Amino acid sequence: MSGAEFVPLSLTPLLIGIFAAIACALPGNFLVLRRQALIGDAISHVVLPGIVVAFLTTGVIATAPMMLGAAGAAVVAVILIEAIRRLGRIEPGAAMGVVFTAMFAAGVLLLEQSDTSGVHLDVEHALFGNLESLIWLDATGWSSLFDPAALAGLPPELPRIALALLGVALFIGFFWRPLKISTFDEGFAATQGIATGALGIALVIVSAVAAVAAFDAVGSIIVIAMFICPPAAARMMTNRLERQIGWSIFFATIAAILGYVLAGYGPLWLGFGNSVSAAGMIATVAGLILAVAAVFGPCRARIGAPQGG
């Protein structure tokens, strides 16, 4: 494929897919180790009504109101989960499950009831995103990367997800030690003066930022998959957290590239007429990577794990 064809049509969707996958996989490492993987799932569900409400109030799809709406929805969700857990005396997992599916359903209902025909906001996009349509029409080839006029025409999702990824990476880099210590041993971390509660909330907020930024471009399916699959697969490749992070970035990137290419060309190679959803294929590839790692990963055996205390 020549640059003249690749850059405008495939470069931006690929980059957005890769950035979204890594932005979700990075905090996903800690969520999975904290047995909070479902929080990533919950976030990607509960933000939908927040985003819809933000759109209905402002009438535009822009980063700031979307983030605010999503944050508001997340706060509502946390309060609801706590309320159900305490008042109903239900285990946290079940309370989360109830809240996030209910809020996602509410978001879908809101979407169907409101007129969003003019923008990329409907049930299908909420699930699958619109990765394939995030093309860069102003580009004419690789040289466009250095052409300010062409760069101005970049799809806004690209800088948005790039910024989110940068924020996630900075957060994890800066708080690496406290994150690692409190994920391993929260009690000890507290005695060392680490604000474990605040750090845990910050991790969820950072995950939510990644989820919202990714959600817009690639939909909620990929968000759920990327929070869990690359980190879980990476855990089976190494016994060191530092390397696990590296593996998760690698797996997220591979899933994004392979998924995008397979979605575009796979069906054609197999003799079918149309390409399939890139987001769906990326999530599928991530799942396959996890399956392969689960069977062949060198560190999948849990030798010496505590046998009930």
Partner 1 sequence: MSPVELVAEDGMIAPGAAPGALDIRGLTVSYGERPAVFSVDASFAEGAMTAIVGPNGAGKSTLLKAVLGIVKPLSGAVSVFGKPFAATRSRVAYVPQRASVDWDFPTRVIDVVLMGLYRELGLLSRLRASDKARAEKCLERVGMSDFAGRQIGQLSGGQQQRVFLARALAQGADLYLLDEPFAGVDAATEKAIIDVLKSLKAQGKTVIAVHHDLSTVAEYFDEIFMINVRKMAHGPVREAFTAESLQNTYGGRLAATQIDQLTLSAG
Q: At its nearest, how many Å lie between partner 1 and the CB of residue 81? A: 20
Query: Is residue 73 a contact partner of residue 103, using CB atoms and an 8 Å limit?
Result: yes
Quick one: which H or E segment has residue 33?
helix 12-33
Q: Measured between alpha carbons, how far is 151 from 173 in angstroms, rounded to an integer?
A: 29
Secondary-structure breakdown of the chain: helix, strand, coil percentages, each rounded to the nearest 5: 80, 0, 20
Report the C-alpha gap between 27 and 227 in whole angstroms.
7
Minimum Å gap between C-beta 245 and partner 1 is 10
Q: Does 183 bind partner 1 (CB under 8 A)?
A: yes
Of these, 28, 69, 178, 200, which contacts partner 1 (CB under 8 A)?
178
* 191 belongs to the binding site for partner 1 (CB under 8 A): yes
| Span interacting with partner 1, options 2-10, 36-44, 159-167, 301-309, rule CB under 8 A | 301-309
| 82 Cβ neighbours under 8 A, 6+ residues apart | 95
- Closest distance to partner 1 from the beta carbon of 70 (Å): 28
Instruction: Kindly state the smallest distance separating residue 285's Cβ from partner 1, in Å.
Output: 23
CA gap 147, 115 in Å, rounded: 37
Residues 196-255 that bind partner 1 (CB under 8 A): 235, 238-241, 243-244
Could you say whether residue 184 binds partner 1 (CB under 8 A)?
A: yes
- Determine the interface stretch with partner 1 among 13-21, 43-51, 89-97, 174-182 (rule: CB under 8 A): 174-182
Report, in Å, the least distance between residue 293 CB and partner 1: 14
Q: With contact defined as beta carbons under 8 Å apart, do 47 and 71 qualify?
A: no
The one segment of 61-69, 88-96, 164-172, 190-198 that binds partner 1 by CB under 8 A: 190-198
What are the strands, taking DSSP E only, across 110-211?
none
Sequence-ordered alpha helix ranges (H) in 185-277: 186-191, 196-235, 241-269
296 binds partner 1 (CB under 8 A): no
Q: Where does this chain bind partner 1 (CB under 8 A)?
A: 33, 35, 174-178, 180-181, 183-185, 187-188, 190-194, 235, 238-241, 243-244, 299, 302-306, 309
